[in-house]
Structure 1
């Protein structure tokens, strides 16, 4: 999720741990599921398919012991990760489907005759063709970025860095600081500039310091990658330069905040005037930087990590100018390598795809071409995607599901035994002010000011980055745009935005196994209902709960309620921190806390909504499963994922979501209804003593 959205996505690139798969065996004979609880019998006749994908089960495992493997183990044994993927599962299956649909749309635009100059059709078609024209890309060699590299070589002193950093920011090239425009977290009625730490070429600060062999190997591989790119870029002493760049990034990493700390919305809210910023970092002109980047209209600057910027400026002052030039030249080479000739492209993939994530092959060129068009003109192709692949009926059904989930959350707040009436009233006020967006935007993005030229791939991508950056800057001084979307309709994802207090569900996630209009309600409530509940719950997780119904960051809790909340979330941190997906690495319970709250609270609310939808009528038994059993099966099957070890290690360091198995097993073992549905007893693998089970919302 882009940082500038200040949003949380339900989707994580999670995966099933190889350790959990060891020893799995498929059984062709399915034992009957546990008997339905008495409360759900007698059952009426089923009228719809269950939506349960029994072919994916591993019935050598009992649901009471490892629910995730029971639901997904057979699929895991029968599935291989595609060579061009670092992970594979339900999300990637839908991504592949979305990509295939977009390919048709984009290739039609590329093949269209008599395209009107300046039209979206012309721009989409020419952007795609510029990526697919490998003959021209090969012939250009280094030429598309030669001027950029030369200009950086002419940097006279560190005094020139504000303008250099501003140019890189606008063009989408990494620099030691990043800037975005968003709503002021403590005054959600206005837009303001945020600045945040950046500049590291490895995925996270921990990659520079962890001593385990795999991380040491990655540092060695990274230095070799830097050297190779610099050599291709014409650097004469690339070996020494690569070592110096790694040393510089290690210094920056040492002062970078850890990801768990970066989740703290109070700690990262540091409102400064330009004069205060200049005083914070003497030697770096923020007034010149803001002018060069085009952000002079900002009413202030919110600095997310003040001490990092102090250290960054000091580090740049202490670094020899030739090393700074080499570092910045490498950032340009790294940014544009995937868009250049085969030698650059393969060098980039060998490290960023194969070494870091375990991909065996680079993705087919047409898929990368589609991805490039999505990055530059996502809503232009999204408008056509929606027209062809999203029905009004699906939107209407989702609206009803969301309404039911909101009612269930409302009732859940009233029933909490650990929250005072005063805080409940504030929570209810916030819930009543939620905005819901489903499928696609009401107003589509205007790309008329974006220039796309045939045969100019690097220029097209650069201009796309500048266009998006300027579009954000243009918000400064204007009213809040409440119709804007932070995702395209074709993205398989969903998010909650705390400043707008909104939940958003793009069209592409509203497909089986998440949402099946033809299936029984139970599976839909367990799948897409769980996703809806997850996003609603983000408004009430450890960070989202710090904002009120108007999107302002303020404390609306009593001290006693906050203490009770932290006690429960602390138990959840401890639970997830004990999970060991690979090697000696464990889930970071602090980093993943918000998403784990979203999963547990979201599924709890979804179950309540499902039960309310039954209106005291017994749910039918379908395919041998009761309504509540199908509900949990619906949740379990959407998280099936396989992934490569390299990717899992990176995920555990960088991703705020837990791996797939724990998004299932870590949740259901806290829900008494799961124990009842599947007859879980003390001694079973899913058993937690009642006093250790967590309920938050």
Structure 2
């Protein structure tokens, strides 16, 4: 999320699945005292390994001691600099929630809802005592299905606003289709519901279709997991039902378009009328489906996965009704195991946490409750969080840095000698009209319609999903809100919003080790400055460059200009293809291209802004490091990353972000890095000047 800085589900997977206690981590004291009593150096000297030649292995030069001495905690799939900020935020949230739970609040207030939700979630004794009773009504709905019309009604009633293809590269939903609501890719000013492919229990279609031995083994383990979960839930004939469910999901996976196609907005901008669904995608009773989804009056949709919708619809009519009923039962349980009996919750973690991600131990229930609150009442928690822990001075300083980096990006675009005047005019219009949110939104969501119980964690989860969906559906037919936030304030992440031409920098990432108000500017521009530059640059990555200043997807490039841009993108993809953490697996340069473009352009703009901040004065040398050296080291240290093998494999297979240790090597493309560390031909990371990718 830096347009996705980390990952599509950064909070729940990568960011949460990392570091241990701050006190045991080398990044805990990220700002060391400097020679000047009035400054801090910012970079973590204790994390470095200066015996390494920067030009041979810059990542380990900046992070080598940390990399060798840090252990991944047993309840994490990875560890890294992001979790320093996450752990600090989690500590603050724990303090806040404890106070709210122990206090008295007006009935129906956000604080009362937070306390009730938390109490229900952590009461595992009550959850275990309730058994499967909370989900019984949903399972009865599925058992009552007797024809395709009724099945279509159920599928429509289960549609949730649970995906985000534009801002978070999050495509996965266990429902047959996912829903997303914003301005249409090809409909400026018109807010549309997007319909996406879904229905899988494994992360992505290749898990079902690949012949890779590891993938084959994983799907065999998933098949067994389906049987295990159904058995633990007391579902009769679990083995036969598991067979039907797995066979159906394999057909669903075959119907899906590829991840590459999902990333291609030109293929996702198809607008279908209400009638198109019946004519182009027969099988589902679309009247029944859309009426149940509260979209019965909607006449236009973004068919984001237009290539998959017909095939999925056909399966609804052609596959046995019993298979669909079994599939519905499994996914209703599987997607809510954290609020169902502990045996189911533990089995779910054993597969998704340990088998898929390599994490040995599940996080404690109280910490998981904090994450659940973020998912269901995140802005309510965030409002109290920023009032207590995000000072106005931090917001002001970061806002100033944003302005400086936007100006640097503007100047870089204005100075391009290869871009035609018409293209440059459009590019500058995008830069000049960016809408930037720092810390938290100007307006907070209204949770009054979300009923929260102190007694049923399952009911709270289902009601929360329904609330979020109703909130999103309410936007249809109204003007687009360019100031809408898509991240909660306490998340350690940032995002570029292409159809809003906007950026969000939540309070959660505006703290150490990304930002230190007392640190040297070189450090802050290399750390949070690179994040800011990254998000600005997403407006001009391989996908963002397809949107104009209004958020409309249209071609504003000359043919020659886009060819030059694409050529540089191909070179960068080839560069990242060379990074191979395993003999049988390398980073997918094409899949990660948008993020890598944003890293290159963002880092360059942040460096320009840092240089401008010096106002013509030489940068001080602090602890023996020049300003540019501190800038680049600060950047590399924000990408300190250590992952379990299973998690790393999953990341490469499914995520549009390269692992952090490779993102740190973005520096290879900046001439200033070579000068700062005296990198010469013959050094392992050396790229000849003509091989260095320069984008924007």
Alignment TM-score > 0.5, same fold? yes
Partner of 1:78 in structure 2?
Answer: 69
Q: Does 1:133 align with 2:123?
A: yes
Would you say the 8 A contact 1:167–1:293 is kept in 2?
yes
Partner of 1:672 in structure 2?
Answer: 671
When structure 1 is superposed on structure 2, of 46-55 and 274-283 the one drifting more is 46-55
Q: Does 1:695 align with 2:690?
A: no
Map residues 252-263 of structure 1 onto 2, 5 A cutoff: 252-263=252-263
Would you say the 8 A contact 2:6–2:14 is kept in 1?
no
Determine the C-alpha separation between the residues in 2 that align with 1:283 and 1:208: 23
Give the CA RMSD over aligned residues.
1.7
Determine the C-alpha separation between the residues in 2 that align with 1:580 and 1:46: 44
Determine the C-alpha separation between the residues in 2 that align with 1:147 and 1:583: 49
Partner of 1:545 in structure 2?
Answer: 545
Determine the C-alpha separation between the residues in 2 that align with 1:322 and 1:286: 20
Would you say the 8 A contact 1:15–1:641 is kept in 2?
no
Per the TM alignment, residue 47 of structure 1 is displaced from its structure 2 partner at its CA by: 4.8
Would you say the 8 A contact 2:160–2:178 is kept in 1?
no
Determine the C-alpha separation between the residues in 2 that align with 1:250 and 1:449: 38
Per the TM alignment, residue 537 of structure 1 is displaced from its structure 2 partner at its CA by: 0.3
SS for the counterpart of 1:9 is coil
Q: Give ranges in structure 1 of 5+ residues lacking alignment.
A: 2-6, 17-43
Determine the C-alpha separation between the residues in 2 that align with 1:462 and 1:674: 51
Q: Does 1:321 align with 2:329?
A: no
Determine the C-alpha separation between the residues in 2 that align with 1:45 and 1:473: 55
Partner of 1:647 in structure 2?
Answer: 647
Per the TM alignment, residue 171 of structure 1 is displaced from its structure 2 partner at its CA by: 8.9
Partner of 2:86 in structure 1?
Answer: 95
Determine the C-alpha separation between the residues in 2 that align with 1:85 and 1:93: 13
Partner of 2:192 in structure 1?
Answer: 192
Q: Does 1:508 align with 2:508?
A: yes
Would you say the 8 A contact 2:156–2:288 is kept in 1?
no
CA deviations 1:147-191 (Å, max 9, x no partner) are 111220121122323211122224967222112211112233221
Map residues 391-402 of structure 1 onto 2, 5 A cutoff: 391-402=391-402
Per the TM alignment, residue 297 of structure 1 is displaced from its structure 2 partner at its CA by: 4.4
Classify 1:171/1:331 alpha carbon distance in 2 versus 1 (closer, same or farther; 3 Å).
farther
CA deviations 1:211-262 (Å, max 9, x no partner) are 2332222111101110011112333221122122112111111221221221
Out of 83, 96, 99, the residue aligned to residue 108 of structure 1 is 99
Q: Does 1:375 align with 2:375?
A: yes
Map residues 194-273 of structure 1 onto 2, 5 A cutoff: 194-273=194-273
Would you say the 8 A contact 2:152–2:288 is kept in 1?
yes
Would you say the 8 A contact 2:78–2:641 is kept in 1?
yes
Q: Give ranges in structure 2 of 5+ residues lacking alignment.
A: 16-34, 163-172
Partner of 1:4 in structure 2?
Answer: none
Partner of 1:60 in structure 2?
Answer: 51
Per the TM alignment, residue 375 of structure 1 is displaced from its structure 2 partner at its CA by: 1.2
Partner of 2:20 in structure 1?
Answer: none
Would you say the 8 A contact 1:168–1:174 is kept in 2?
no
Map residues 469-484 of structure 1 onto 2, 5 A cutoff: 469-484=469-484
When structure 1 is superposed on structure 2, of 338-347 and 159-168 the one drifting more is 159-168
Partner of 2:41 in structure 1?
Answer: 50
Determine the C-alpha separation between the residues in 2 that align with 1:60 and 1:185: 50
When structure 1 is superposed on structure 2, of 521-530 and 477-486 the one drifting more is 477-486
Q: Does 1:157 align with 2:147?
A: yes
Would you say the 8 A contact 1:489–1:508 is kept in 2?
yes
Would you say the 8 A contact 1:577–1:589 is kept in 2?
yes
When structure 1 is superposed on structure 2, of 256-265 and 350-359 the one drifting more is 256-265
Map residues 168-567 of structure 1 onto 2, 5 A cutoff: 168-170=158-160, 174-567=174-567
Determine the C-alpha separation between the residues in 1 that align with 2:461 and 2:161: 9
Partner of 1:69 in structure 2?
Answer: 60
Per the TM alignment, residue 312 of structure 1 is displaced from its structure 2 partner at its CA by: 1.0
SS for the counterpart of 1:130 is helix
Would you say the 8 A contact 1:379–1:445 is kept in 2?
yes
SS for the counterpart of 2:308 is helix
Map residues 589-628 of structure 1 onto 2, 5 A cutoff: 589-628=589-628
Determine the C-alpha separation between the residues in 2 that align with 1:426 and 1:306: 30
Classify 1:132/1:55 alpha carbon distance in 2 versus 1 (closer, same or farther; 3 Å).
same
Would you say the 8 A contact 1:15–1:661 is kept in 2?
no
Determine the C-alpha separation between the residues in 2 that align with 1:171 and 1:235: 28
Would you say the 8 A contact 1:353–1:362 is kept in 2?
yes
Would you say the 8 A contact 2:148–2:285 is kept in 1?
no
CA deviations 1:257-277 (Å, max 9, x no partner) are 221221111111110111112
Per the TM alignment, residue 532 of structure 1 is displaced from its structure 2 partner at its CA by: 0.5
CA deviations 1:554-607 (Å, max 9, x no partner) are 110001101111111111111111211224111111110100000000001111
Partner of 1:8 in structure 2?
Answer: 3
SS for the counterpart of 1:403 is helix
CA deviations 1:16-75 (Å, max 9, x no partner) are 9xxxxxxxxxxxxxxxxxxxxxxxxxxx97952211111001223111111001111100
Would you say the 8 A contact 2:161–2:179 is kept in 1?
no
When structure 1 is superposed on structure 2, of 525-534 and 228-237 the one drifting more is 228-237
SS for the counterpart of 2:159 is helix
Determine the C-alpha separation between the residues in 1 that align with 2:36 and 2:345: 58
Classify 1:74/1:97 alpha carbon distance in 2 versus 1 (closer, same or farther; 3 Å).
same
Would you say the 8 A contact 2:41–2:523 is kept in 1?
yes
- TM-score w.r.t. structure 2 length? 0.93
Would you say the 8 A contact 1:192–1:301 is kept in 2?
yes
Determine the C-alpha separation between the residues in 1 that align with 2:61 and 2:501: 37
Determine the C-alpha separation between the residues in 2 that align with 1:125 and 1:88: 30
Would you say the 8 A contact 1:580–1:587 is kept in 2?
yes
Determine the C-alpha separation between the residues in 1 that align with 2:265 and 2:48: 41
Partner of 1:574 in structure 2?
Answer: 574
Per the TM alignment, residue 524 of structure 1 is displaced from its structure 2 partner at its CA by: 0.6
Would you say the 8 A contact 1:52–1:633 is kept in 2?
yes
Partner of 1:32 in structure 2?
Answer: none
When structure 1 is superposed on structure 2, of 404-413 and 104-113 the one drifting more is 104-113
Determine the C-alpha separation between the residues in 2 that align with 1:299 and 1:598: 36
Out of 143, 147, 155, the residue aligned to residue 133 of structure 2 is 143
CA deviations 1:504-526 (Å, max 9, x no partner) are 10001011121111111001111
Determine the C-alpha separation between the residues in 2 that align with 1:385 and 1:133: 24
Partner of 2:680 in structure 1?
Answer: 681
Per the TM alignment, residue 658 of structure 1 is displaced from its structure 2 partner at its CA by: 0.5
Would you say the 8 A contact 2:233–2:344 is kept in 1?
no
CA deviations 1:662-694 (Å, max 9, x no partner) are 1011x1111111101100001101101222111
CA deviations 1:613-638 (Å, max 9, x no partner) are 11221100001000111110110100
